[in-house]
Structure 1
Amino acid sequence: MSRIIYLVLCLGLLCPLGGVAQNGAYNELVWSDEFEEEGAINSTWWNFDLGNGNNGWGNRELQSYTNQLANVRQTGGKLIIEAIKQNGNWTSGRVKTQGKFDFTYGRVEWRAKLAPGVGTWPALWLLGSNISTVGWPACGEIDVMEYIDRLPGKVQAALHTPSSYGNTQNIGSTTVPDATTAFHIYAAEWSEHDIKFYVDNTLYYTYAPTVKDARTWPFDKAQFLIMNIAVGGNMGSEPSLETNGQKNGVDPNLTSTRMEVDYVRVYQQFKELHLSGPQFVNPSAQNVTFKASRLANATYTWTLPSGATIVSGNNSPEIVVNWGKKSGQVKVQMQHNGQTFTKILEVKTKMLPSGSSFLIEGFNPFPASQLTPNAGTFEMSQHQDALKVNFHVTSPSSLPHILYELESPLDMTGYPVFTTSVKTLNKSRTVSLRLDLLDAAGKVTGSNQVFNLSPLIDDGEYYTYHFNYQNLFGSGSGQVDPANISKIRLLVNYGFLGSSGQDSIWVDHFSVLPALPTTPNRASHVAAAMAASGVTLSWRDNAANEQGFKVYRSTQPYSNYSEIASLSANNTSFTDPAGTRESFYKVQAYNSNGTASFSNIGTVGGVMTGGSEEWLAQQIVLSPNPVQQEFSLALPSGVKVKSIRLYGVNGQEVPLQISMEFALKTVAEVRLPTPLADGLYFCRIQTENNLLVKRLLVQNFNL
Structure 2
Amino acid sequence: MQKVKYLAFMCLSLLVSFGTLAQNGKFNELVWSDEFNGNGAIDPQWWGFDLGTGDNGWGNRELQTYTNQQANVRQSNGNLIIEALKQNGSWTSARVKTQGKFNFTYGRVEFRAKLAPGVGTWPALWMLGESITTKGWPACGEVDVMEYIDRLPGKVQAALHTPSSYGNTQNVGSTQVPDATTAFHVYAAEWTDKDIKFYVDNTLYYTYAPAVRDARTWPFTEDQFLIMNIAVGGNMGSEPTLETNGQKNGVDPSLTNTRMEVDYVRVYQQFQDLKLTGPTLVKPLAQNLTFKASRLANATYTWTLPAGATVVDGHNSPEVIINWGSNSGQVKVEMQHNGQTYSKTMEVKTKAVPSGSSYLIEGFSPFPADRLTPTGGTFDMSQAQDALRIKYNITAPANLPNIVYTLENPLDMTEYPVLAAAVKTLNRSKTVALRLDLLDAAGNLTGGNQVFTLSPLIDDGEFYTYYFDFKEAFGTGAGKVDPASINKIRILINYGLFGKPGQDSLWLDHLSVLKAIPATPNRASHAAASMAASGVKIDWQDRSGNEEGFKVFRSSQFKGTYVEIAALPANAITFTDVAGTRESFYKVQSYNAAGVSDYSNSATVAGVLSAAQEEWLERQFLVYPNPAQQKFTVSYPAQYKVKSLRLFSTTGQEVPLLVSFQKVAKNTAEVQPAVALAEGLYFCHIQTEDALLVKRIFLQRLP
1:569, distance to aligned residue in structure 2 (A): 0.5
Cα distance in 1 for partners of 2:337, 2:476 equals 45
1:283, distance to aligned residue in structure 2 (A): 0.7
CA deviation vs aligned residue, 1:65-124 (integer Å, no higher than 9, x gap): 111111111112111111111111111111111111111100001111111111111100
CA deviation vs aligned residue, 1:542-583 (integer Å, no higher than 9, x gap): 101111111111222221222111100101111112222122
CA deviation vs aligned residue, 1:356-375 (integer Å, no higher than 9, x gap): 11111111111111011111
Cα distance in 2 for partners of 1:532, 1:283 equals 63
CA deviation vs aligned residue, 1:42-63 (integer Å, no higher than 9, x gap): 1111111111100000000011
The aligned residue for residue 488 of structure 1 is: 489
Q: Indicate yes or no: 2:582 matched with 1:574.
A: no
Alignment of 1:205-244 (within 5 A): 205-244=206-245
Cα distance in 1 for partners of 2:502, 2:257 equals 78
CA deviation vs aligned residue, 1:641-671 (integer Å, no higher than 9, x gap): 9xx99xxxxxxxxxxxxxxxxxxxx9689xx
What SS is found at the alignment partner of 2:471?
coil
Distance 1:600-1:593 versus aligned 2 partners, 3 A rule: same
What SS is found at the alignment partner of 1:310?
strand
The aligned residue for residue 63 of structure 1 is: 64
The aligned residue for residue 11 of structure 1 is: none
1:488, distance to aligned residue in structure 2 (A): 0.6
CA deviation vs aligned residue, 1:416-471 (integer Å, no higher than 9, x gap): 11111111111111101110000000001111221111111111111111111112
Q: 1:634 aligns with which of 633, 636, 644?
A: 636
Distance 1:205-1:667 versus aligned 2 partners, 3 A rule: farther
What SS is found at the alignment partner of 1:131?
helix
CA deviation vs aligned residue, 1:17-50 (integer Å, no higher than 9, x gap): 6554343110000111111111111111111111
Q: Indicate yes or no: 2:550 matched with 1:553.
A: no
The answer (yes or no) to whether the contact 1:142–1:158 under 8 Å persists in 2 is yes
Amino acid of the structure 1 residue aligned with 2:287: Q
1:616, distance to aligned residue in structure 2 (A): 3.3
Q: Indicate yes or no: 2:475 matched with 1:478.
A: no
1:606, distance to aligned residue in structure 2 (A): 2.9
The aligned residue for residue 693 of structure 1 is: 690
The aligned residue for residue 428 of structure 1 is: 429
Q: Indicate yes or no: 2:451 matched with 1:450.
A: yes
The answer (yes or no) to whether the contact 2:458–2:525 under 8 Å persists in 1 is yes
The answer (yes or no) to whether the contact 1:299–1:316 under 8 Å persists in 2 is yes
1:611, distance to aligned residue in structure 2 (A): 9.8
What SS is found at the alignment partner of 2:357?
coil
Cα distance in 2 for partners of 1:415, 1:548 equals 29
The answer (yes or no) to whether the contact 1:4–1:36 under 8 Å persists in 2 is no
CA deviation vs aligned residue, 1:279-326 (integer Å, no higher than 9, x gap): 011111111111100101111111110111111211111111111111
The answer (yes or no) to whether the contact 2:549–2:590 under 8 Å persists in 1 is yes
**Runs of 4+ residues over 6 Å off in structure 1:** 666-669
The aligned residue for residue 389 of structure 1 is: 390
Cα distance in 1 for partners of 2:590, 2:614 equals 23
CA deviation vs aligned residue, 1:321-344 (integer Å, no higher than 9, x gap): 111111010000101111110100
Cα distance in 1 for partners of 2:409, 2:457 equals 30
1:405, distance to aligned residue in structure 2 (A): 0.6
What SS is found at the alignment partner of 2:241?
helix
Q: Indicate yes or no: 2:302 matched with 1:301.
A: yes
Cα distance in 1 for partners of 2:518, 2:23 equals 64
Cα distance in 2 for partners of 1:57, 1:396 equals 59
Distance 1:633-1:304 versus aligned 2 partners, 3 A rule: closer
1:278, distance to aligned residue in structure 2 (A): 0.4
The aligned residue for residue 685 of structure 1 is: none
Distance 1:465-1:17 versus aligned 2 partners, 3 A rule: farther
CA deviation vs aligned residue, 1:135-156 (integer Å, no higher than 9, x gap): 1111100000001111111111
Distance 1:534-1:194 versus aligned 2 partners, 3 A rule: same
The aligned residue for residue 86 of structure 2 is: 85
Q: Indicate yes or no: 2:248 matched with 1:251.
A: no
Cα distance in 1 for partners of 2:20, 2:588 equals 76
For this pair of structures, how many residues does the alignment match? 630
Cα distance in 1 for partners of 2:334, 2:254 equals 59
Amino acid of the structure 2 residue aligned with 1:432: A
1:694, distance to aligned residue in structure 2 (A): 6.7
Amino acid of the structure 2 residue aligned with 1:107: R
Amino acid of the structure 1 residue aligned with 2:455: S
What is the TM-score when the length of structure 1 is the normalising length?
0.86
1:609, distance to aligned residue in structure 2 (A): 4.5
Cα distance in 2 for partners of 1:401, 1:278 equals 30
The answer (yes or no) to whether the contact 2:553–2:566 under 8 Å persists in 1 is yes
The aligned residue for residue 163 of structure 1 is: 164
Cα distance in 1 for partners of 2:231, 2:619 equals 89
Alignment of 1:548-697 (within 5 A): 548-609=549-610, 613=614, 616=617, 634-635=636-637, 693=690
The answer (yes or no) to whether the contact 2:112–2:265 under 8 Å persists in 1 is yes
Cα distance in 2 for partners of 1:243, 1:4 equals 50
The answer (yes or no) to whether the contact 1:333–1:340 under 8 Å persists in 2 is yes
Amino acid of the structure 2 residue aligned with 1:535: V
The aligned residue for residue 320 of structure 2 is: 319
Unaligned runs of 5+ in 2: 7-15, 623-633, 642-663, 668-687, 693-703
The aligned residue for residue 460 of structure 1 is: 461
The answer (yes or no) to whether the contact 2:17–2:298 under 8 Å persists in 1 is no
Distance 1:505-1:143 versus aligned 2 partners, 3 A rule: same
Distance 1:502-1:162 versus aligned 2 partners, 3 A rule: same
Alignment of 1:390-429 (within 5 A): 390-429=391-430
Cα distance in 2 for partners of 1:392, 1:95 equals 59
Distance 1:452-1:4 versus aligned 2 partners, 3 A rule: farther
Distance 1:591-1:18 versus aligned 2 partners, 3 A rule: farther
Amino acid of the structure 1 residue aligned with 2:78: G
1:392, distance to aligned residue in structure 2 (A): 0.6
The aligned residue for residue 438 of structure 2 is: 437
The answer (yes or no) to whether the contact 2:17–2:297 under 8 Å persists in 1 is no
1:482, distance to aligned residue in structure 2 (A): 0.2
What SS is found at the alignment partner of 2:484?
helix
Alignment of 1:248-287 (within 5 A): 248-287=249-288
Cα distance in 2 for partners of 1:210, 1:127 equals 22
The aligned residue for residue 524 of structure 1 is: 525
1:618, distance to aligned residue in structure 2 (A): 9.6
The answer (yes or no) to whether the contact 1:16–1:317 under 8 Å persists in 2 is no
The aligned residue for residue 203 of structure 2 is: 202
The aligned residue for residue 674 of structure 1 is: none
The answer (yes or no) to whether the contact 2:450–2:470 under 8 Å persists in 1 is no
Q: Indicate yes or no: 2:39 matched with 1:42.
A: no
The aligned residue for residue 658 of structure 1 is: none
Cα distance in 2 for partners of 1:16, 1:286 equals 26
What SS is found at the alignment partner of 1:466?
strand
Identity in percent: 69
Cα distance in 2 for partners of 1:92, 1:553 equals 82
The answer (yes or no) to whether the contact 1:633–1:667 under 8 Å persists in 2 is no
The answer (yes or no) to whether the contact 1:16–1:318 under 8 Å persists in 2 is no
Q: Indicate yes or no: 2:375 matched with 1:374.
A: yes
The answer (yes or no) to whether the contact 1:112–1:185 under 8 Å persists in 2 is yes
The answer (yes or no) to whether the contact 1:416–1:468 under 8 Å persists in 2 is yes
The aligned residue for residue 192 of structure 1 is: 193
1:3, distance to aligned residue in structure 2 (A): 5.8
What SS is found at the alignment partner of 1:471?
helix
Q: RMSD of aligned C-alpha atoms?
A: 2.4
The answer (yes or no) to whether the contact 1:600–1:608 under 8 Å persists in 2 is no
What SS is found at the alignment partner of 1:616?
helix
What SS is found at the alignment partner of 1:235?
helix
